[in-house]
């Protein structure tokens, strides 16, 4: 009795060939069909030329479509990048404005605190002078 691991097996891997594989298959299929058809050499040559021209036109059309899609995606990406750059600019500007406002408010508070301190020191000096005068 054979072990199961000894039985030969075939692995089939599938890979999407894309446009290139499609075009290659189309060309090979058209060539085989033309060669197998019961026609004269001139008819076969004419048919090959016509099919090649159609295939060329189809391929050129696909290339144009792909180029257009790429251009659209590139433009969309540019637009998104520009939007993000503008959003970042606005955020930076808002941050600068908020920092400037905070600085202005802080400077005002510091000035008020200094004025209150000077007024308190001056009031304390006056009280001390008044007490000295009362004692004398």
Judge contact between 51 and 30, C-beta under 8 A: yes
**Which stretch of DSSP H or E encloses residue 22?**
helix 18-36
Nearest to 23 by CA among 57, 46, 47: 57
Distance CA 63, CA 47 (A): 24
Nearest to 100 by CA among 108, 64, 30, 46: 108
Reported as a single tens digit per residue, the pLDDT across 92-112 is: 999 999 999 999 999 999 999
Q: Domain boundaries in the chain?
A: 19-135
Global confidence as pTM: 0.45
Phi/psi at 2 (5° precision):
-85, 145
Distance CA 49, CA 52 (A): 5
Reported as a single tens digit per residue, the pLDDT across 71-95 is: 999 999 999 999 999 999 999 999 9
């Amino acid at each position: 009795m054979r072990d199961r691991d000894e039985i030969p097996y075939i692995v089939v891997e599938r890979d999407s060939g894309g446009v290139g594989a499609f075009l290659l298959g189309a060309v090979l299929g058209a060539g085989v069909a033309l060669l197998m058809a019961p026609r004269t050499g001139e008819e076969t040559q004419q048919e090959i030329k016509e099919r090649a021209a159609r295939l060329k036109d189809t391929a050129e059309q696909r290339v144009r479509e792909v180029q257009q899609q790429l251009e659209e995606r590139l433009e969309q990406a540019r637009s998104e990048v520009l939007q993000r750059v503008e959003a970042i600019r606005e955020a930076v500007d808002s941050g600068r404005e908020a920092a400037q406002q905070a600085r202005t408010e802080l400077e005002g508070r510091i000035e008020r605190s200094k004025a209150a301190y000077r007024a308190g020191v001056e009031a304390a000096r006056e009280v001390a002078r008044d007490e000295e005068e009362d004692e004398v």
